[in-house]
Chains A and B, each alone.
Chain A
């Protein structure tokens, strides 16, 4: 089983022919079996992972490494492996991959197309998190785009075409900026030219520099840093590049919203940690204040926007913008606490927001609208649904005892040492968060029962099966956060050291 990581990445892709060999209506079963099998064969990776080994800036410390020459004349390798930075993201992707299949159980049109795009997307997402070669990383990053375009564009809501093309154009713009930076970084690598990300981080931490010429009269590293930052920031998304997100979320089918919020957004912050910041630590220090300002804008502006929404999905989309701000704040602070908190927040936001979107999907399937004011008194009609939603909303607010609290606490306490004012303002974001979440909950579940929905059915088995695992994770990590933190603590502390050097 020496190629286990490759199997984890490519198993979904390999299953696509099975979709066309079997009858149409078996598609969802194929997808479920494949994603479950992927989760199972991923377990040896998760549990066989040595948590004490740092990785990050030492190619010899990466685990489950597979390295094969791909394009020799260019020095590009098929090079994959995991360390503390990526292992939790792989776990998250595997879990969300299974649950989102359940969320799309009711897809009936063009099922073969849907599931083949879905499985391709799953391979691409896993590939991004395990790639250790810049070109391979870029390949997986971009392969994600066209399945996503079709998934939103064909199976989405009324304005799906607009949302899909907006998503596509925005992310491609970021992708092209990234590609050009990668080529420049390769050409002006410290030492011998290489596409190996870990190798590059190692050389930079040993005092190497990307020694390029001035670009448009500005220092090379600054231009590359900012262009890379924009490339990743579009994906996160960070203000002012966030406008594609609400559109994409609102129009995407439930399962795709779940993947989008649960996994895709994390790629941006993962890119920050893996490439953008660790490869340019000096420029990071130069840009750090701006990062903190952007983080605070994300937190407060996202929360205020969420407060103003009348559509449940749009509200959650903006709450995503707000929560992603915490991740950026934690990374910008770069203290061990802050950056561990950011990593934990990446996982927690993935599970919590996925849960929120799944819950909105439940009510949308029944009512065919998502207007917050269009419901009322659902608590008495669908008690199970109301109970689960209350836990999810509390987790999103950051109630102690649930996972969101721990990561926000870590981020804020980590950043308070460096940026007091920014941390205090960000604290306000949490209050706004409580505001919009509780207000929305009150309008949907309490008050007079809406006549139209008196007969609404409570959650069925498939819906429960998709949400309960996430609920368990959220509660469990609220009480024992350390069981996840140990996976990445060594690596993230090292990242903190690299950034603050």
Chain B
């Protein structure tokens, strides 16, 4: 039964595969090709893929249910393109990378992007594993991109080990599920498990282990250990990218996976996921309190944000999915904006908090932009981060998850301390050493493009709501 639908539905993916081929193989085969500017090519192809996504319609099961292309995946794919575009632009302004390997970097980037796209289209656990690996392998390499930095290599290796372990656990969980139900498609699994299974321990063991791979990508507890090291040692643009895109992809995979559950299974899964959410946000927050390295601090803060996003997953309903989708663009803007500002302010790759003292005297605009992003991360109105949290709180209260809500509320207050501490250092403390003055105008424009929408969306978020409304599953 051959039809053309698979190719049309996956058109953007094909475009990106072509891109990866170009960067990997054609560039090696034809040496003259490397003289072409990689950045514009990459951006142009992203724009084409973005356009193709906006043209797609309907929900298509392709490759025998291995993948599902629908409005949900199309919207998240668009987000990945935007993040990737910002990422490559950040790379262009970073001093931490050697320029010679641009083509390889872009090739890795294309594969990573493909992996994330497959994560949000997967309809089968096998596809999920392939997608996770496809996204993970380039990530390992990107963390180690800075070849002269020993810490970078160490972090990359740690990341590899953790990733392999997580995948191993996930495969074991999958084998249990396959043994129980004889299937690996999401809906077949839940139907096969049936209603009685929720009383049996093996249900929780199997589901929990299968979650490992996704939790690893989201960087939620207990698979978060790679996160601080990798974030600290990786080049800053890579850190910014890893803190946003793969996390979102992991969440979409979770949404897909839990999208097919039977109603009776809901309560047990909700309590399981809310425990993960609570532990993740609490651990991330309290660990962040003690950090003095800003990249490490933001790494822990991103762990705690993963915990918040898991609230939207844990409620297991449409409102929750929308709340997650609503939070994602906001989270993306504020996190990328914060990393971008830090990259501009830092000197000699030093991200110690103390080296940022009194930065507002020399770089007022960048620090004000950073302040907006940081207040947004902390969830203070009128910045958009508050609205994102508001919707997550709302769905949890509607489901009556009061313990989760209380824990999340206390965590918001705890989080404020370390966020404000960053601003205290930059705004209140006296300057000790002559600071790096960000002279380039364009990066400041980047920070502004992240910070200004945060205020606008914080005050009037109807456009975002309309966008999130389209992310209803399977349309």
B400 contact set on A, CB distance < 8 A: 213
Known contacts being A146-B375, A187-B397, is A168 close to B420, with CB within 8 Å?
yes
A1 contact set on B, CB distance < 8 A: none
Known contacts being A143-B381, A216-B402, is A180 close to B397, with CB within 8 Å?
yes
B398 contact set on A, CB distance < 8 A: 187
Q: Does B161 have its Cβ within 8 Å of any Cβ on chain A?
A: no
Interface size grouping (class) on chain B? 20 to 34
Q: Does A138 have its Cβ within 8 Å of any Cβ on chain B?
A: yes
B462 contact set on A, CB distance < 8 A: 71-73
A71 contact set on B, CB distance < 8 A: 460-462, 465
Q: Does A43 have its Cβ within 8 Å of any Cβ on chain B?
A: no
Q: How far is the CB of B294 from chain A (nearest CB, A)?
A: 18
Instruction: Please name the residue on chain A nearest to B425 by beta carbon.
Output: A161
Q: Does A33 have its Cβ within 8 Å of any Cβ on chain B?
A: no
Instruction: Specify which of A146, A168, A176, A216 is in contact with B412 (CB 8 Å cutoff).
Output: A176
Give A200-237 interface residues, CB cut-off 8 Å to B. Answer: 213, 215-216
Over the window 372-405 of chain B, the binary record of Cβ atoms lying under 8 Å from chain A Cβ atoms (1 yes, 0 no) is 0001000011100010001001100110101101
Taken together as a complex, chains A and B put the C-alpha atoms of A203 and B45 apart, in Å, by 58
Q: Is the CB of A165 within 8 A of B417?
A: yes
Known contacts being A143-B381, A173-B413, is A215 close to B402, with CB within 8 Å?
yes
Q: Does A149 have its Cβ within 8 Å of any Cβ on chain B?
A: yes
Q: Is the CB of B382 within 8 A of A73?
A: no
Q: Does A142 have its Cβ within 8 Å of any Cβ on chain B?
A: yes
Give A165-194 interface residues, CB cut-off 8 Å to B. Answer: 165, 168-169, 172-173, 176-177, 179-180, 183-184, 187
A161 contact set on B, CB distance < 8 A: 424, 428
Instruction: Please name the residue on chain A nearest to B466 by beta carbon.
Output: A73
Q: Does B435 have its Cβ within 8 Å of any Cβ on chain A?
A: no
Q: How far is the CB of B261 from chain A (nearest CB, A)?
A: 23
Known contacts being A153-B424, A172-B412, is A139 close to B393, with CB within 8 Å?
no
Taken together as a complex, chains A and B put the C-alpha atoms of A187 and B397 apart, in Å, by 8
Over the window 139-167 of chain A, the binary record of Cβ atoms lying under 8 Å from chain B Cβ atoms (1 yes, 0 no) is 10011011001100110000011001100
Instruction: Please name the residue on chain B nearest to A213 by beta carbon.
Output: B400
Q: How far is the CB of A446 from chain B (nearest CB, A)?
A: 40
Q: Does B427 have its Cβ within 8 Å of any Cβ on chain A?
A: yes
Q: Is the CB of A153 within 8 A of B428?
A: yes
Q: Is the CB of B417 within 8 A of A169?
A: yes
A138 contact set on B, CB distance < 8 A: 381
Q: Does B79 have its Cβ within 8 Å of any Cβ on chain A?
A: no
Q: How far is the CB of B285 from chain A (nearest CB, A)?
A: 13
A177 contact set on B, CB distance < 8 A: 409
Known contacts being A71-B461, A161-B428, A165-B424, is A180 close to B405, with CB within 8 Å?
yes
Q: Is the CB of A146 within 8 A of B380?
A: yes
A213 contact set on B, CB distance < 8 A: 400
Instruction: Please name the residue on chain B nearest to A185 by beta carbon.
Output: B397
Taken together as a complex, chains A and B put the C-alpha atoms of A168 and B111 apart, in Å, by 44
B405 contact set on A, CB distance < 8 A: 180
Q: How far is the CB of A423 from chain B (nearest CB, A)?
A: 37
A215 contact set on B, CB distance < 8 A: 402
Q: Which residues of A contact B (CB under 8 A)?
A: 70-73, 138-139, 142-143, 145-146, 149-150, 153-154, 160-161, 164-165, 168-169, 172-173, 176-177, 179-180, 183-184, 187, 213, 215-216
Some 30 contacts from A to B, beta carbons below 8 A apart, are A71-B460, A72-B462, A73-B465, A138-B381, A142-B386, A143-B381, A146-B375, A160-B428, A161-B424, A161-B428, A164-B424, A165-B420, A168-B416, A168-B420, A169-B416, A169-B417, A172-B380, A172-B412, A172-B413, A173-B413, A176-B410, A179-B393, A180-B393, A180-B397, A180-B405, A180-B406, A180-B409, A183-B397, A187-B398, A216-B403
Could you list 12 further interchain pairs (A-B, Cβ under 8 angstroms) beyond the known A73-B465, A172-B413, A183-B393? A139-B381, A142-B380, A142-B381, A143-B382, A153-B424, A160-B428, A168-B420, A169-B417, A172-B416, A176-B413, A213-B400, A216-B402
